[in-house]
Chains A and B, each alone.
Chain A
Amino acid sequence: MAEEGKFKVTIDGIPVEVAPGTTILNAARLIGGDIVPPAMCYYSKLEGSGGKCRTCLVKVSKGSEKDPRPMPKLVASCRTTVMDGMEVSNITSDEVLEARKGVVEMLLINHPLDCPVCDQAGECKLQDLSYEHGTEQTRFAFERRTFERVDIGDKIQLHMNRCILCYRCVYVADQLTTKREHGVLSRGDYSEIATFIEAALDNDFIGNVIDVCPVGALTDKTFRFKNRVWFTKPVDAHRDCPTCSGNVTLWYKGDDVLRVTGRKDEYNEVDEFICNTCRFDTKRTQDWILEAPTKVDNESVITANHYLNFNPPPVIKNSSELQAANEEQLARTERLK
């Protein structure tokens, strides 16, 4: 029996007690570790997000204590709330792993596989996901859908080719700014994130679309291609900001602050959204009060250059072209060994 007012759920055999209304995904996050389903579209700080990418599908093998019937289909764990006595399988279910592999394959068929020239590489959830669940070879033998790069305003660039239509950036504009000026146009695989007549997105909090974007579709133009993330060093810092909390992560290369982002947790979600002034226009060390190096997951590629040896992603290893493109970085990596 669960504690008064709490529901007991079991995920991959591990029990946890949570408040009614908690989603399976958040219950899994309370347990932590490998059994947490990957979430490409859900973002706990954005209301209404989730349910779209389908990477977080899990199997409910027992509905609840009262109604033990299993759910007939796999469910999106980010949008399904727990019931008392529910039993969920994630990584212990072949059906789930098989379906997830299918979803990852779908996400990748139109996504460029050029991580080495993408600014998001190293902090891209899709990259992580495809190493974990993807297949070695693509079965998609057709031309990928392509779009032109678009500058939306002078600080943000949109590269639709990389977008996985998670809608997070749409929710950011809806929920954090005074007026949403971009959205999804068209249907199906013609859908694109777009602004009306490419109206510049300028709004105090719009820069957060960069932080929530799980892939390299929305990137910071003030940082683009200045460096690979794994060669920069994240440091937590704060300042007295009239607009936002001022709690940020500064990304250093030597003594220079190359970019400023929100502070992200292990699920790549920011703790607090930050304003554009902090993000784009406050890049001198003296503007900030430094706290400590950001805690980064040991396995993250971001740690590679500082805490562990950097291991270039297999995509680079396997292609001479990409090796050439990353010559400098690879040479540096060699030196570090």
Chain B
Amino acid sequence: MTRKLLLTHIDVPGIESFDIYRQKGGYRSVEKALKTMSPEDVVEEVKKSGLRGRGGAGFPTGMKWGFLAKPEGVPRYLVCNGDESEPGTFKDRFLMTKIPHALIEGMIVSSYALGAEVSYIYVRGEMMPQIRILEKAIAEAKAAGFLGKNILNSGYDLEIYIQPGGGAYICGEETALLESLEGKRGNPRIKPPFPAVSGLYGCPTVVNNVESIAATVPIINDGGEEYAKIGIDRSTGTKLISASGNINRPGVYEIELGVSVEEFIYSEEYCGGIAGGKRLKALVAGGSSVPVLPANLALKTAKGELRLMTYESLADGGFVTGSSMGSGGFIVYDEDQCIVRNTLNFTRFYHHESCGQCSPCREGTGWMEKLLQRIEYGGANMADINLLWDIQKNIDGNTICPLGDASAWPVASAIRHFRDEFEWHILNPEESQNRNFGLAHYADPLVPVS
């Protein structure tokens, strides 16, 4: 059995209430940190743990905390990013719904480490039930003396506020989130300055994902070194994976980093194999923003090694033959799924969610959607594939924030790996309305590269 750190007590009835959570050992990390550790000690433990941000970019959390500017007389803020809107990713919502105190506990420990006396949890606007749940959890924690003035007689004060978003994916980008939190239009800021220097209301700010913050609880309880023992290389600890698509058991799983992709898809402990006994065609391993891989490259790297669920292994081969851990949105496609349609679906999303500030993303996402519509529904010609390739290339790397890149990568990888499926669509506009291209050779064993 895999070790669980975040979801250990997930099935305990009433775990969403303060009392039961506390009975199960909740808030020990707050006691430990506030009574026996300095803020610097907490940062040090998080550095030792090797925890990497769970929001998508995988930036080491301890290092990010170390960058926080600490000018005299200026408040510092911790902002929790609960905007979770990436297609395929739904782990933060699960955590906030089922075990909200894990987030509140992590918020207290992390805020203490950063010296923040006011912290915010920015929650996607559509998640109204989760907002209510978190508000209740905050009230309970406050009543029990874990929030407010002079927490546990340590002299440390902290207030946590929830801010509902307006339901925009872009507000998950950390600087757009800060703009939105300040009550402005959620446009990403032009960096530098980075939030660590000038963030919320111009003050030094750390933005962390829900899961990253919750992970500080076991790190403080057991020590950073214990946490770092789980996993492989620079992928330490456990990670929540949102599994969806054509699998027998979709849902949120906590894995020890290092499980193989094959095991994750096929073992009964996790996804339980492809539904209906069909064959695997493709995999999006980390949410809609990461490159899609054909079955053969999903299970093994181009070098012929087993592909593992770690930051390094998923990225092995770069964007040519690899992908990325992203936010852990694991979408499985069986042999009957259409890659063109899926690419259109993702692209429609990015078009709809682009903030419109910078020209390549604003215009390019809409253009790609129109072309993909045509490829999917007829009327396209072969040159459209190359055009699509050019557009994504002109977006990639040239935009203000990574939403542009995120819109380009799924298109680039779909063309790179599934080009014959695009061509088949264009050459058979009528047939492609009635049947899918199918598995083709995408699951064939790879010819080993020497």
Binding between chains A and B: yes
A106 to B394 CA separation, bound complex (whole angstroms)? 9
Does chain A have a CB within 8 A of B289? no
Nearest B residue to A78 via CB reads B190
Does chain A have a CB within 8 A of B91? no
Does chain B have a CB within 8 A of A85? no
From the candidates A50, A106, A139, A184, name the one contacting B359 in the complex (CB within 8 A). A106
Contacts of A253 in B (CB 8 A): none
Which bucket holds chain B's interface residue count?
20 to 34
Contact A51 B400 (CB under 8 A): yes
Contacts of B190 in A (CB 8 A): 50-51, 76, 79
Does chain B have a CB within 8 A of A335? no
Interface residues as binary, B346-361 with A (CB distance below 8 Å gives 1, 0 otherwise):
0000011111111111
A22 to B423 CA separation, bound complex (whole angstroms)? 49
A106 to B393 CA separation, bound complex (whole angstroms)? 12
Does chain B have a CB within 8 A of A52? yes
A52 to B188 CA separation, bound complex (whole angstroms)? 10
Nearest B residue to A55 via CB reads B359
From the candidates B170, B352, B353, B398, name the one contacting A103 in the complex (CB within 8 A). B398
Interface residues as binary, A169-187 with B (CB distance below 8 Å gives 1, 0 otherwise):
0000000000000011011
Contacts of B365 in A (CB 8 A): 188-189
Contacts of B358 in A (CB 8 A): 51-54
Does chain A have a CB within 8 A of B168? yes
B381-412 at interface with A (beta carbon < 8 Å): 387, 390, 393-394, 397-400
Nearest A residue to B185 via CB reads A184
> Interface residue count for A (Cβ, 8 Å)?
33
From the candidates B355, B397, B400, name the one contacting A187 in the complex (CB within 8 A). B355
Inter-chain residue pair count (beta carbon < 8 A): 89
A328 to B30 CA separation, bound complex (whole angstroms)? 81
Does chain A have a CB within 8 A of B363? yes
A109 to B368 CA separation, bound complex (whole angstroms)? 12
Contact A107 B400 (CB under 8 A): no
A187 to B98 CA separation, bound complex (whole angstroms)? 33
Does chain A have a CB within 8 A of B362? yes
Contacts of B355 in A (CB 8 A): 187-188
Contact B397 A107 (CB under 8 A): no
Contact B363 A106 (CB under 8 A): yes
* Chain B: minimal CB distance from A213 (Å): 16
Does chain A have a CB within 8 A of B62? no
Contacts of A51 in B (CB 8 A): 190, 358, 400
Contact A139 B387 (CB under 8 A): yes
Contacts of A160 in B (CB 8 A): none
A186 to B356 CA separation, bound complex (whole angstroms)? 9
* Chain A: minimal CB distance from B388 (Å): 11
Residue positions of B touching A, CB distance < 8 A: 168, 170, 185, 190, 351-367, 370, 387, 390, 393-394, 397-400
Residue positions of A touching B, CB distance < 8 A: 50-55, 57, 73-74, 76, 79, 99, 102-103, 105-107, 109-110, 139-140, 142, 164-165, 167, 183-184, 186-191
